[in-house]
């Protein structure tokens, strides 16, 4: 069963585009050199959280690629994006727990983790090799 089969198609598409926009904004802010509308620069946040400063570029690149994969009209690309974001968001949730962040800083990551789990389950391929076969998404 896919997202399109469980919800009207336009609702699923709108949700995926909204999520892609959110992750794209997150990616851009990871590359942004100064403060963002989310607060201090990620170049400061990542070291404060115990990560090397350059790691923000890795996370930002992953978020950007996954944002694009979420809006492609292939269930395999959406599944791959959701599964990858589950890994990234698990790291974010653990980072917020370890650093004892309050609810303000700690709500977005677990909420998006649950949403990405739903997207992954809704786009789960019938055969796992469908995700990795070149040229299969056409």
**CB of 45 closer than 8 Å to CB of 8:** no
Lowest mean pLDDT among 16-25, 34-43, 111-120, 124-133: 124-133
Judged on CB neighbours under 10 Å (0-12, 13-18, 19+), 6 is: exposed
Residue keyed to tokens 């896919």: 2
Q: Taken in order 23, 73, 122, 58, is the CA torsion positive or negative?
A: negative
pLDDT for the residue numbered 86: 98
Rounded to two decimals, the pTM is 0.83
Comparing CA positions, the residue from 24, 4, 133, 9 lying closest to residue 81 is 24
pLDDT mean across residues, the chain: 88
Confidence of residue 137 (pLDDT cuts 50, 70, 90): low
Q: Between 108-122 and 9-31, two packed helices, what is the crossing angle to 10 degrees?
A: 130
Percent of the chain with pLDDT over 90: 64
- Identify the helix (H) or strand (E) that includes residue 77: helix 75-98
C-alpha angle 99-104-105 in degrees, rounded to nearest 5: 40
Over range 62-79, report the average pLDDT: 93
pLDDT for the residue numbered 8: 67
pLDDT tens column, 14-37? 999 999 999 999 999 999 988 888
pLDDT for the residue numbered 1: 47
pLDDT higher than 60, residue 3: no
């Amino acid at each position: 069963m896919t997202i399109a089969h469980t919800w009207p198609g336009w609702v699923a598409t709108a949700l995926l585009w909204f999520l892609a926009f959110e992750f794209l904004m997150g990616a851009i802010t990871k590359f942004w050199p100064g403060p963002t509308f989310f607060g201090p620069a990620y170049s400061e946040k990542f070291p404060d959280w115990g990560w090397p400063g350059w790691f923000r570029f890795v996370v930002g690149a992953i978020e950007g690629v996954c944002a694009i994969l979420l809006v492609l009209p292939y269930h395999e690309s959406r599944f791959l994006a959701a599964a990858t974001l589950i890994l990234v968001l698990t790291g974010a949730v653990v980072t917020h727990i370890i650093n004892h962040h309050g609810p303000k800083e700690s709500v977005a990551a677990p909420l998006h983790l649950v949403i990405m789990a739903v997207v992954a389950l809704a786009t789960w391929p019938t055969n796992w090799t469908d995700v990795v076969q070149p040229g299969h998404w056409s």
